[in-house]
Amino acid sequence: MATPRPRVAARATTRPRAADPAAGAAGRSVATVTAGGTEPRAAVPAVVAPIADAAGPHVAGLVAAVESRLREIAGPGGEALDLAGTAAVAAGGKRLRPLLAIVVAGAAAGDGERALAAVRAGVALELIHTATLAHDDVLDAAPLRRGRPTAFAEHGRAAATCLGDVLFAAAFAELATGGSTPAVQALAGACRELAQGELLQRADAWRTDVAEARYLERCRLKTGALFAAAATLGAQVGGVAPEPYARFATAIGVAFQLFDDVLDVVGPPEVTGKPRGTDLLDGTVTLPLLLARAQDDGLRALDLRSLDAASAAAACDRIAATGATAATEHRARQLVDEALAALPPDADAGRDRALRLIGRGVVDRRL
């Protein structure tokens, strides 16, 4: 069975930057952003705008405030970061984790202290995400991210590692301002799991016979944990029990990683912002290859260390031809379907609508 080509709207990693929203106003007062002249909705990445709209009229202002505070921290002459940090934050991205936190916080985060707490959580989550990507690009020796050279490629291993460290520290400094120990603990726990996931992936490098359960656990640690932290932080802000939302977020985070791994095999570079087969080239064995090996003797015999860019692209074609990418997508859809079915009944209709859109967006490859 042939794997369908991803829609070009998928993973809009190279999308143009949104207009700068009310720069400088956000960290202290959400109201100054929403009332500040710049249209808050302009700060919402187009790919997630329908989710923000569904969540409620307060959400665009919160997203704008997150964006503005990120630029305050990481912009030129900002509090803590140098040019590499500025570039990493300004390069864009979907800002999915802050949005997830804001959505889970719900209508209760519409104004006042809860709104400020939601923005702080969103800023901390995005700084952690950016830090982990800086470190991930060192570990994967990645040349491109979001269509641009990585900090690793441009400034080298040491600088990119330090950049990640600075971003980690900036994230916790931001979150700690709110004085919530449970929030700091939830984010610290996710960082620990994330690093454990990356360590597990390094330990499994070049091994083409990794057990599927171990691969899925890697996805949970590497990607699901930060999604879960976003949901937990949001629930803490909104004053609702975090567990059901954290479970939902973990599942869609794993599904998100499955799709990312499919895109590494089939995604056109102009969509993904990176060449095909980068996982194969850095020895990262993912579900598409694990499933394809069962169908294709040639792939079973493949030595990943022997690949170059051209043979990696050819191996990607061969993996897709077995139907393994379609099967991986199917697994991701199942995960999301189960997660959506398990969402608790919600009196907050905006939260419910938006979470369902996020779940579907992961599966439909809009995110």
Contact footprint for ligand IPE (CB under 6 A): 13, 93-94, 96, 129, 132-133, 136, 140, 142, 146, 222-223, 257, 260
| Contact status: 198 vs Mg ion (CB under 5 A) | no
* For helices 225-238 and 243-266, angle between their N-to-C axes, nearest 10 degrees: 150
> Would you say 185 and 177 are in contact if contact means Cβ atoms under 8 Å apart?
no
* 145, containing H or E segment: strand 144-145
Query: According to CB under 5 A, which one of 67, 136, 198, 204 is a site residue for Mg ion?
Result: 136
> Would you say 116 and 30 are in contact if contact means Cβ atoms under 8 Å apart?
yes
Stretch that binds Mg ion, among 97-105, 139-147, 265-273, 345-353 (CB under 5 A): 139-147
DSSP letter at 275? -
DSSP letters, 37-88, are SS-GGGGS-GGGHHHHHHH-TTHHHHHHHHHHHHHHHHSTT-SS--HHHHHH
Give me the least distance between CB of 101 and ligand IPE, in Å please. 13
Name the residue with tokens 């939830």: 186
The bridge status of strand 144-145 relative to strand 148-149 is: antiparallel
Spatial separation of the C-alpha atoms in residues 57 and 89, rounded to whole Å: 26
- Shorter beta-carbon distance to ligand IPE: residue 64 or 128: 128
| Contact status: 174 vs Mg ion (CB under 5 A) | no
Residue 223 contact among Mg ion, ligand IPE, none, beta carbon within 5 to 8 Å by kind: ligand IPE
Spatial separation of the C-alpha atoms in residues 194 and 192, rounded to whole Å: 5
Stretch that binds Mg ion, among 23-31, 80-88, 128-136, 159-167 (CB under 5 A): 128-136
Q: Nearest residue by C-beta to Mg ion?
A: 140
Give me the least distance between CB of 83 and ligand IPE, in Å please. 19
| Contact status: 348 vs Mg ion (CB under 5 A) | no
Residue 193 contact among Mg ion, ligand IPE, none, beta carbon within 5 to 8 Å by kind: none
Binding mask 258-297 for Mg ion (x = CB under 5 A): --x---x---------------------------------
> Would you say 10 and 263 are in contact if contact means Cβ atoms under 8 Å apart?
yes
- Shorter beta-carbon distance to ligand IPE: residue 140 or 296: 140
Residue numbers of the site for Mg ion (CB under 5 A)? 136, 140, 260, 264
